[in-house]
Structure formats: C-alpha cells, structure tokens
Chains A and B, each alone.
Chain A
Amino acid sequence: MTLRLTDGAAEHLAGRPLVVRASLRNGCCGGSAPVPVAEIGPPTDAASFTVMHLGGIEVHVDPRLGPVDGLVVDVDGLWRWRRLRVECERPHDENR
C-alpha cells in the first residue's frame, strides 16, 4: 500500500502532523463501512496508529482502514474552505 501526499496537501499542512483514519459509516439497512478521512493534528490515541514521516510531515495511519491501495491525500476547496481529502482504491479480491 502506498500513501502519497500532494504538494497542495503538504502546503496546507505546513509542517503540522497528519492523521489518515477510518471514519465508520453506518448503513440504514444495517452494516457499516470504513471511509478514509484525513485531518490535521496527531490522533488522540497515537499508540494505535502507524507513524511515518513523509516529506518532513509526521503521518499517522489508522490500521482500521483495512485493505486500501494507492492512498492519496490531497486538498479540496478554496481559501478558508480548504479541506484535506483522501482518495483510494480498495484492492479487488476475486474470491469475495
């Protein structure tokens, strides 16, 4: 699994730590799904995250993300409405 930080995201972070974690979404018919989200700042429970350094930025990756591939952290929006976003692909398992 690779994680890529775009120049825009790196500029938005301005050296601050980054968290890429799973945000659990519940389905109305039952079930749930982890949605990767990116936030500025260290996680509350940093011990349960995998820590890496990417281009001088401390990145905390949530193991609850599950199998994801090609994680890209980018930034969306303009001016004060800028926010980090995560793009990814989930590897396809023919047997599932």
Chain B
Amino acid sequence: MTEQETQHASSSEGGASTDSIDAFPDPAAEGAGLGVFGRFLTIWVAAAIVAGVALGQAVPAVPETLARYEYASVSAPVAVLIWAMIFPMMVQVDFGAVVGVRREPRGLLVTTGVNWLIKPFTMYAIAWFFLLVVFSRFIDEPLAREYLAGAILLGAAPCTAMVFVWSYLLKGDPGYTLVQVAVNDLIMLVAFAPIVVFLLGVSDISVPWDTVLLSVLLYIVIPLAAGYTTRVVLIRRRGGEWFDQVFLKRIGSVTPAGLIVTLVVLFAFQGDVILDNPFHLALIAVPLTIQTVFIFFLAYGIFRRLRIRHSVAAPGSLIGASNFFELAVAAAIALFGLQSGAALATVVGVLVEVPLMLALVRYANATRHHFPEPVRA
C-alpha cells in the first residue's frame, strides 16, 4: 500500500472550510479513448454493408429465413441483435446522477433545450429541404420520404454511450456528463415517441401510434428497465468496483459487435436498394452532416455566450450533435421494415458519425481558450 504524506492546506470558500491535498495518480488511464474499432468505425460499417449486400445476393435464403421469424411486425432475430446493442449502453446509465441537476443548471438547460426543442425540428427541416427539394431529381419522392423518416428518427434520439468517450477526448467534466446523459435518457423515455409521431405526421408519413409505442417499449423501456435492474442487483451483490471493472469490461465489446452483425443482416435485406441506388448513400449523408455541424455550433455558440466552462460546454454540444443511432436503426426497422429507406438512412448516420465527431472534437479542443478558465480547487 502506498501511504502518502498528507499535505493539508486549509482554505475558505464562501464561508465553507475545505482542505486540499496532493495526490499522484498514474498518468495513463488504462485503455481509455476511442480505440482502434471506434477510430475506424466508418471502415467497419462500410465492410458490413458490402458483406451484407453480398450475403443477401449470394445466399438469398438467409434474409428469407430471418424474415420468417417475425411477430407483430418485429423480426425476432433482429430484435435480439438490437437488444445486444442497446442493453450494454443502458446498463451504464447511472440514473442516480440526476440528483445533480441543480449543479450548473445553465449547462443542462442548454443541452436539453437544444436536444429536445431544436434538434429534432432542424433535422426534419434540413433533411426535408435536401431530400425532397435539392435532390428531387435524383431520388423518387416516396423513397425520399422514407429517407426523411430515417433522418427524423436520428434527430429524435441524442447520443447516450459515446458521449463519455467524446467527453474524455475533450477533457470534459465526466461527472457532469453523467448527469447530462441520465437526464437525456429520462427525457427520451417520454419525448421520443411524440416527437417522432408529430414529425412523421408533418411529413405525410403515417405510422400507427401502437407501432411507435411498441418500438419504444421494445427498444427503450425494456432495455432501460433491464439495464437499470441489472445494474442495481449486480452492484448490490458484487459492489460498484466489480461492476465497473469486471462486468462492464466484459460486455464492452457486445455493442460494437451487435452493431456490425445487425448491419450485415440489415444489408442482406437491403441489397437491391443499394445496388439500384448506390449514390443515395452520399446524398443522404449531406443533410445528416449539415445537421450535425449546425447543432454542434449552435450549442457551442450558446455555451460560449453564456460563458460556461469548456469542460461542460464541449461535451454538452456533442451530445446533441451525435445521435443514438442504435435506437434510430431499431425504430426504423420496427416502423418501416428491414428493407425500408428509413432503415438505410439511419445507417448512413452511423457511417458519418465518427469522422465527423472527431473533427468537431479537434475544433472544440483548439478553441478551448474562448471559454472561461475553470475555477481550480
């Protein structure tokens, strides 16, 4: 055991007496950061698309067999894959952190305001403008509306798990990120379905409420409840340290693996759509990229104007800029089917996510000096 000499330095802040002490943590945080898989995600996703299309064309029995296991418009194998993607994320959400909402409330107000009052609607407007107006010569209207539906689903679900990695790369305040993620996920429980139904209605895309509610139940409520229960039970039985260092490490690769397998399956169904319109992937990427950059700069600008510290501002801006695309993919499949343009559009969100977010991380790190210095302890 390393027993260090305590160095007390009493100070007084607002009448509250505090002590400070020197500590010497190891400068290398084990395995932290984006990692090889994350850094090259675009390549893995592109490879999954090629593999999926090839599989569907070479062995058509695969998608045909998978399609047989469908109950109430939900493909059972795909549902299992989606749970494999979403559950490991939900099990990490620490809902106890919401008690910290009173801490720096302006930061939370900006993030939640941008995420829920602005982002879904700008996504709709930007995607509608490009897919149904600018690109109308290249995309038939019915298909453009399906792509628009996919974009709407992406816009209605802000990022959950990846925020921690972005926050780490931005030197963000991880404790505050915990609060932001917990609050966003709670809002998502009640706001996702009404926003999606409203925006799809505005787009003349009718989906039955019960189908939307079923997808919310299957892909938000059930994984969230299962994740929360698993977290509480395991921490009570084995302790928080074991949960974080052993359990979460063990399931860490399940989400990325589930994502790649889901994409292969999805594109086994999507082969004809892709082969008929390979150019559409690039067209869909345009509004999604513009929306991501716009939302980032909007939130970042508001944070800067409010003079909120960078370690809160930068991760807060990236939560809205990036999407909970696993949920969007799941909802698109549940609402429109595996062969739909909506499902394809949500996957384009995955394709552009990492390179775009890394560029925004670099920009945010380079402009840190525009924000007030944090108050040192």
Binding site for B on A (CB under 8 A): 1-8, 19, 21-37, 39, 43-47, 49-55, 59, 61-72, 76-78, 81-83, 85-92, 96
Q: How far is the CA of A53 from the CA of B33 in the complex (A)?
A: 31
Binds A, one of B71-79, B236-244, B279-287: B236-244
A36 touches B174 (CB 8 A): yes
Taking a contact as CB atoms under 8 Å apart, the answer to whether A5 and B19 are in contact is yes
Which of A2, A8, A39, A83 counts the most B-chain CB atoms under 10 A from its CB? A2
B29 x A30 contact (CB < 8 A): no
Decide: A22 and B29 in contact? CB cutoff 8 A.
yes
Q: How far is the CB of A46 from chain B (nearest CB, A)?
A: 6
- Judged by a CB distance under 8 angstroms, whether B269 is at the interface is no
Q: Interface residues, chain B, CB within 8 Å of chain A? A: 1-4, 6, 8, 16-39, 41, 85, 88-89, 92, 96-97, 99-100, 102-103, 160-162, 164-165, 167-168, 171-178, 239-242, 244-245, 248-249, 251-252, 255-256, 259, 311, 325-326, 350, 353-354, 365, 368, 374, 376-377
Closest 9 CB pairs of A and B: A66-B29, A30-B38, A77-B99, A30-B37, A33-B168, A90-B171, A27-B165, A63-B26, A25-B164
In the complex, what residue of chain A is closest to B38 when comparing beta carbons?
A: A30
From B25, B92, B242, residue with most partner A Cβ within 10 Å: B25
Contact A32 B252 (CB under 8 A): yes
The interface centre, meaning the residue of A1, A51, A76, A92 with most chain B CB atoms within 10 A of its CB, is: A76
Report chain A residues within 8 Å CB of B374.
70, 89
Instruction: Choose among A4, A26, A46, A82 the residue that contacts B161 (Cβ–Cβ < 8 A).
Output: A26
27 contacts between A and B (CB under 8 A): A3-B377, A4-B377, A7-B17, A21-B244, A22-B29, A23-B244, A24-B244, A26-B255, A29-B38, A29-B350, A30-B38, A31-B162, A32-B31, A34-B168, A44-B239, A45-B241, A49-B1, A52-B23, A54-B19, A66-B27, A67-B29, A70-B376, A71-B23, A78-B99, A85-B100, A87-B173, A87-B175
Whether B248 pairs with A34 at a CB distance below 8 angstroms is: no
Q: Which residues of B contact A6 (CB under 8 A)?
A: 16, 18
Contacts of A26 in B (CB 8 A): 88-89, 92, 161, 248, 251-252, 255
Contact A51-B1, Cβ < 8 Å, known A30-B34, A34-B32, A34-B174: yes
The residue in chain A whose Cβ has the minimal distance to the Cβ of B170 is A90
Q: Which of the listed residues A5, A29, A54 has the most CB atoms from chain B within 10 Å of its own CB?
A: A29
CA distance A2 to B376 in the complex (A): 9
Contact of A72 with B353 at beta-carbon distance under 8 Å, contacts A33-B174, A90-B172 already known = no
Q: Which of B256, B365, B376 contacts A30 (CB 8 A)?
A: B256
Chain A residues with CB under 8 Å of B29's CB are 22, 34, 64-67
Select one of A29, A64, A70 contacting B354, CB under 8 A: A29
Contacts of B4 in A (CB 8 A): 50-52
Residues of A within 8 Å of B32, CB to CB, are 24, 31-34, 66
Q: Which residues of B contact A51 (CB under 8 A)?
A: 1-4
